[in-house]
Structure 1
Amino acid sequence: MASDLAEKKKRLIGSLKSTYKGQYNAVQPIPYIRDRLYCVDKVFVEGSVHFLVADEAGVRGKETSWERLESYKRIYSDRRIKSKRRILEGEPGYGKSTLTLQLAYDWCNGVQDSPFGDVEILILLRLRQLGGVKSIYRAINRFLASGSRLSDKDIEDVLKNTSSVEILLDGYDEYPDQDKITGNDVRSIIMREMFPNHDVTLTTRYLPKKFPKLTKRVKLTGFDDDARDEYLRKAVVGNDQKALKQIKQRLRENPILADLCQVPLFFVMFAHIAHEKQEFKKFKSVTRFFKYMITCFHEHMRNKTRDDSVRQVILRYESEHDELNKLAYEGLSKEHQQIVWRKDVMVKRLGQEFYDQYVGVGILVEEQVLSDKDTAYTESFTIEVRFYHKIFCEFYASYRLMLVVLEQDVSELGRFLRRMDPFDLQYLYRFACGLNPTAGAKIIQYLKSLNGGDKFAILCILEQTGKVDDIKDTVRDLCSKEVIIRSSDSRLLQRSTIQLLEIAARYDIPISSVWLEACSPRVDESGLNLILESGLSLSVLSSLQKLQITDYRRLTNEELAAILSYSSQCTSLKVLWIVVQKLPDSVPIELIPSSLKSRNVKVYHYNNGNRLNFQTGRWQPQFSDYFQQLDEAATKTQQDRQRTRWKCTIS
């Protein structure tokens, strides 16, 4: 019996590795280049990874404090996030699925120092394929072990009798049955009712409504400069330094894309297109870049044929896509967004010829899923279709949104757009503003009426016109008041605020005060950027006058020195407030930048009311400043009185 089980385990492991090999050797950085597939290990680059700190000490604010991990490998080895249940969060395009493929590669190839080095069995399932599938063993058999000649019961026996099993459930946000609460193995696994002793990681854009209290949370927060450089070297230019500099220059020439290129998926596409195109335009908006990228997709297909009539058809379908616009809009405007469709339904809506072109281009992607008719005795699959990425869905839906907005008064827009949250579908709104100025003006008015929508509206103005001059007055008004970036703000709100601050600094618009509230900032190696716990970076703001940083950790000398170094480069800064749990009693004088001293920037520690003495490196009571101000005011008053008496005497 034991030997029989061992044989079944061997066959299952062999089948799993064969399946994963086919998946991790077929990574496609650009969807339309089907003839250029990569092994995941050749293109995988680590972005920023953070974990949620448990509120073990009851420290105020700790429940929203995220700390950075040095590597994705630490997700499974760091003692602070040891758990049998783990949620890996990340926005669309941040590399959640690519990371699961890298972990599968590590497991299959016995990569040294891999977190799965001692794991006997790795189960990696794409949840979007499992709609209507109640049994996890059925899903494993059909998608991962179809060539193993094992039954569902065999797989169940193997997993129940194996102590070292890792389970990766990828894409909960795309799981068709996510709201079903009974009769579903996936939900039972998440709630630790099933496989309580096996490690389970769930990847998702947003959290399930219910999950066990001891579940640990990790999130991917995008590419920084180092990660972008590493990707360029690994997957695009190799050792060609000239090509590397050219791509980086093209990104610098398109500052409006800096935000978009923090998303790994879009930086990857930007990098490959910028490398391949000799003539690369400067883009004033994300909409214009995206339209250019779509043109590149279709152009690649046109260049593969010499038949002029075929080329004309491809060109026509590139510009005429009304039915696809409607389909995408209908999907996003539902109470529960629809992001996948059955192939037969989509072909009927779009027409076979149109459908074939968009699948061929790579904008639409086919995927095999188990059908409702599948049983233990009858294997039945169906083909479902989705956009290559949800932002492509938002792009085509924006054409329809534009028409809907043009037909309505601004006062009526809330009724039509109530299910299309701009903080979830930011690119939908930005694209619509970029496509049509009249529709954009109405959308901007609508956004300004929403709580927290004013900053996002400014970005839509920029998207609408592509001219910074058109938003300078609005930015100036915003920056005349205190600008707050909170850790609880959505990434969109943080990102919008940061972009506006950087626009202000670029055009020398005074920024009166910035408050980073519980954002746990750190300074990158260049010293030119503050990295917030969300992973977003704030570059040096030359026109910033006051900076306040609130954190709930104890800062080390090195962390404090980094903040002082960043602040010293904000050349208009007059006051720095540091509000933290505890600071070092003193700062080595050599760590205090000379420019802070020469400009006499006031550095305060709010908790104990002290000011940093640049001469001694120690904190001293700030009341001396207060008394000095009183003395100066008294001296000025006395001088004014003397001048008055002198004038009276002369007269």
Structure 2
Amino acid sequence: MKDSDGTATKQRMEDILASLNDHSQTGEQAKPKCSSKKMITPKLSLDACRKKLIDQYTRTGKISLKPWDRTSYTDFDDLHTNIDLFAKNKGQRGGEDGKRIPLPGSINDIFKTKVDGSLPPRILLLGKPGHGKTTLVAKMAYDWATKDGDSPLKDVPLVFALKYRRTRKDTSLGEAIVSQLLGRMKGVTPEEIEEFLSDNDEDCVILLDGFEEFSGSLSTEDEKSSLVELTLFQRFPGCRVLVTSRPEGKEAFEEADLLFVYAVMEIQGFTKEKSDEYMDRFFKSDPLSSNDLKNYLKGKSEIGCLVEIPFFCMAICTLWQSDLLKSVDSQSSLFDNLLMYMVQHSRSKGNVGGLPTTRNISAKELQLLICSVGGVAFESFKTDEDRVVFSLKDFEHCQGALDIAVHIGLVSKQTASTEPAVWFEEPPMIIEFYHKLAQEHCIGIQVA
């Protein structure tokens, strides 16, 4: 991301940062400047847009907790997430050669924390799979929509929560907002949305989830979309932006020389105290089971280490409750038993909504199922070991296995947009394993 003289682009961004810092010394989000009656487009007022976003976040904002039970959702009140700020010894932005500074207020401190004396315009939040990045973004949007008193964003006129996975490499920011949040509206175009953002960027916050799933690139020499330009801090500089990513995504920001713009934070897993607290809540009516599980895990370091991942802490509690954990002596057998539980749970549902039944699936058929979906993941692993999102085309030779895997909960399948915009030929289908470790386990079975 260099100009011909090698420094001009960075100098322009430093000038923008200096200008923004002059207005960002209080540690609070700037007060809104535009009226709720202001028109975003001739057909869409700011107030109407806000109401549509609030409806979207309150209606669809909750995250499925259990892959085998799509009716079970995360309780945001049970979200116990710890966040660390990476701080360099000289200048706090982006470093990993200095120290970590825990944020005492955790999620709410992400947008309150000043870096080098000012609120950062861009934040890169890193986290391993299952540590709660997507849930965190959903909670931020939900808290804004419900005007939660502790939310640092409660007074922001507009908050746009978007997913990189639901974009193409050339999708513009306006297209992403319309397709993912607003839907097709007569007289409302992506270009008009972006024009409003350009003129009122200080009154908007954008949350971008899952950078590692983005099909585009920050280093492309081709014409860049406005979504890429937003990420590169080349457009909408007054708009505060949070980008979440798995740790490997940080490399792209380093290569694009962006770590002097982005404050880098990391979402931590459960501490020992938090995982114990979760187990106590899970077995609230049976405290003896909670104590027995904690004692059991003391002698099982290979699986005990997984309780720092919120999802696996829940899964381990579920297996213990179902008497399927005591035979587990490795991570591999943990995944085997978790899949066994998923099959048992799906059998109890039978044939639901036209989905295939697993009532009579044999152990051999289950093994073939894992090998089929694991084979798809393995073929992808040969060229891109970090890939976690697949398409229907990837599974075209094993559609039956895919349908059963979805029914069990081994993988999920969803459309990229609930209301596709006109620039999409058809809504793309997104397929992914319930966790990257499960994906790797299926690959291991396939190649064994």
Instruction: Give the alignment's TM-score, normalised by structure 1.
Output: 0.55
1:260 paired residue among 289, 306, 309: 306
Return the structure number with greater relative CO, CA threshold 8 A, min gap 6: 2
Q: What are the equivalent positions in structure 2 for 1:153-552 lying under 5 Å apart?
A: 153-162=191-200, 163-178=202-217, 181=220, 182-205=223-246, 206-207=249-250, 208=252, 209-212=255-258, 213-233=260-280, 236-238=282-284, 240-275=286-321, 277-278=322-323, 280-305=325-350, 311-313=359-361, 315-321=363-369, 322-335=371-384, 337-346=386-395, 348-352=396-400, 354-369=401-416, 375-376=422-423, 380-402=426-448
Would you identify which runs of 4 or more consecutive aligned residues in structure 1 move more than 6 Å?
Answer: none
Per-residue CA deviation, residues 82-141 of structure 1 (Å, 9 max, x unaligned), is 200110011122111111111112111111221212222111111011124421111110
- Gaps of at least 5 residues in structure 2 are 1-33
Q: Which has the larger radius of gyration?
A: 1
1:152 paired residue among 190, 201, 221: 190
Q: How many pairs are equivalent?
A: 390
Per-residue CA deviation, residues 141-195 of structure 1 (Å, 9 max, x unaligned), is 0111116653323422443343321111111111111356232222211211111
Q: What is the CA–CA distance in structure 2 between the aligned matches of 1:233 and 1:89, rounded to whole Å?
A: 28
Aligned residue in 2 for 1:553: none
Change (3 A) 1:116 1:318: same
Quote the offset at 1:270 in angstroms.
1.3
Change (3 A) 1:195 1:395: same
| Counterpart secondary structure, 2:432 | strand
Per-residue CA deviation, residues 3-33 of structure 1 (Å, 9 max, x unaligned), is 46075211211121222223333x2222001
2:374, 2:445 within 8 Å by CA — same for their partners in 1?
Answer: yes
- Gaps of at least 5 residues in structure 1 are 403-651
2:320, 2:326 within 8 Å by CA — same for their partners in 1?
Answer: no
Q: What is the CA–CA distance in structure 2 between the aligned matches of 1:313 and 1:360, rounded to whole Å?
A: 12
1:93 paired residue among 130, 137, 151: 130
Change (3 A) 1:189 1:101: same
Quote the offset at 1:56 in angstroms.
2.1
Change (3 A) 1:4 1:119: closer
| Counterpart secondary structure, 2:85 | strand
Q: What is the CA–CA distance in structure 1 between the aligned matches of 2:156 and 2:56, rounded to whole Å?
A: 17
Q: What is the CA–CA distance in structure 2 between the aligned matches of 1:10 and 1:344, rounded to whole Å?
A: 41
Change (3 A) 1:112 1:247: farther
Per-residue CA deviation, residues 539-594 of structure 1 (Å, 9 max, x unaligned), is xxxxxxxxxxxxxxxxxxxxxxxxxxxxxxxxxxxxxxxxxxxxxxxxxxxxxxxx
Quote the offset at 1:357 in angstroms.
0.8
Bigger share in helix: 1
1:15, 1:147 within 8 Å by CA — same for their partners in 2?
Answer: no
Quote the offset at 1:392 in angstroms.
1.6
Q: What is the CA–CA distance in structure 1 between the aligned matches of 2:280 and 2:149, rounded to whole Å?
A: 23
1:83, 1:216 within 8 Å by CA — same for their partners in 2?
Answer: yes
Per-residue CA deviation, residues 322-359 of structure 1 (Å, 9 max, x unaligned), is 3222211111121464432221441x22133x221101
Identity level (%): 20
Amino acid at match of 1:200: V
Aligned residue in 2 for 1:83: 120
Quote the offset at 1:395 in angstroms.
0.8
Aligned residue in 2 for 1:584: none
Change (3 A) 1:394 1:62: closer
Name which of structure 1's ranges 360-369 and 150-159 shifts more when overlaid on structure 2: 150-159
1:325, 1:396 within 8 Å by CA — same for their partners in 2?
Answer: yes
Amino acid at match of 1:11: A
